[in-house]
Amino acid sequence: MPPGPGAPPQAAARGRIRPVRRHLPASPWLFLAPGLLIVGGFSLYPFLSTVVNSFTDARTLIAGQYVGGANYQELIHDAMFWTGLRNSLLYVLGVVPLLVILPLLLALLVQGRIPGITFFRAAFYTPVVASVVVVGLIWVWLLDDRGLINAVLEAVGFGKVGFLSDPWLLLFSAMAVTVWKGLGYYMIIYLAALANVPRELHEACAVDGAGALRRFWTVTVPAVRSTMVLVAALSSVGAFKVFSEVYLMAGPTGGPGGEDTTLVMLVQQVGTGLNGRVGYASALSVVVFVITLGLMLLVLRANRKEDA
């Protein structure tokens, strides 16, 4: 009730005061708007369009009609889909363990303060900044039947090795290129993590008589375990979505008989061209996304179990 006529002026003033409604300032949204527009236009909208197209029979120049789950049913019976899935998963199994362990050992090697170590750090990082196309072409020249490596093998008495003609050797050769190119990148990540490991822990272990290998397992590995999980997640996604290395070394068709085709290469083969099957390629892309997300969740779940 409002104060009566005999109320003091302070009470009358309090009776007229209304709560002030606070509004969030618009300036944060103005700063966020460019980033939100870029993410929405170049990530969210293409993703939603791909999901929608996966339920149509769209082609490159023809708008598609709704076909339900026909594309997903077709890929279950598509032999090339299973070949691509096998190669992509094999790529993950072959690449990820090496990219988790070797960069860590390389980081331990170059973290010491010895003369000239800066040169080696830069040299190990050079493949990261090099174009993947240039790297792929260099390795094609090295691994070709008439390339430098086969010439050296013949000179020392060994026969030629079909690095690029044998389907299995070609896939493992592409894995070697991926590992070689990614070593420097993950080495830098490990170097940042190793910089935060207290030297006192290593010194205490050394005083207790622990050797280098013992200190590695009891001090270094536990200290950088979260970084190892990050590297495993990043390298798993990159390995499963590999395209350039296999494409450059095996060719657009994925090697002899398409035996080295990966899932991402299959998306490119099916969805491009004047009569590309955009709807079917979209269904393949959705499957690639789901499996990639599953790999990341699997790595994170395994890490949570170790922490529990």
Give the tens place of pLDDT for each residue, 239-251.
999 999 999 888 8
Going 102 to 106 to 109 to 112, the CA torsion angle's sign is negative
Flag whether pLDDT at 17 surpasses 60.
Answer: no
CB-side exposure of 256: number of CA atoms within 13 Å? 9
Give the tens place of pLDDT for each residue, 29-68.
888 888 889 988 888 999 999 999 999 999 987 888 999 9
For the chain, the structural domain boundaries read 70-307
Q: Which residues contact 42 (CB under 8 A, 6 or more apart)?
A: none
- Mean pLDDT, range 99-124, rounded to an integer: 84
Give the tens place of pLDDT for each residue, 62-71.
888 999 999 9
Whether 124 and 110 have beta carbons less than 8 Å apart is answered as yes
Amino acid at 228: M
Q: Which residue has the tokens 């026909």?
A: 70
pTM, whole model, 2 decimals?
A: 0.83
Distances from the Cα of 230 to the Cαs of 35, 88, 129, 234, 293, in angstroms? 25, 20, 21, 6, 14
Structure tokens, 69:
């789950």
Q: What percent of the chain has pLDDT over 70?
A: 90
pLDDT for position 83: 94
Q: In whole angstroms, what is the distance from residue 243 CA to residue 166 CA?
A: 19
Structure tokens, 236:
């798993």
Between residues 17 and 109, the one the model is more confident about: 109
Flag whether pLDDT at 13 surpasses 70.
Answer: no
Q: In whole angstroms, what is the distance from residue 271 CA to residue 58 CA?
A: 10
Mean pLDDT in the chain? 85
Distances from the Cα of 116 to the Cαs of 119, 132, 184, in angstroms? 6, 27, 17
- Mean pLDDT, range 113-140, rounded to an integer: 85
Q: In whole angstroms, what is the distance from residue 22 CA to residue 20 CA?
A: 6
Structure tokens, 20:
């002030």
Amino acid at 255: G
Q: Which CATH superfamily is domain 70-307 in?
A: MetI-like (1.10.3720.10)
- 3-class secondary-structure state, position 62: strand
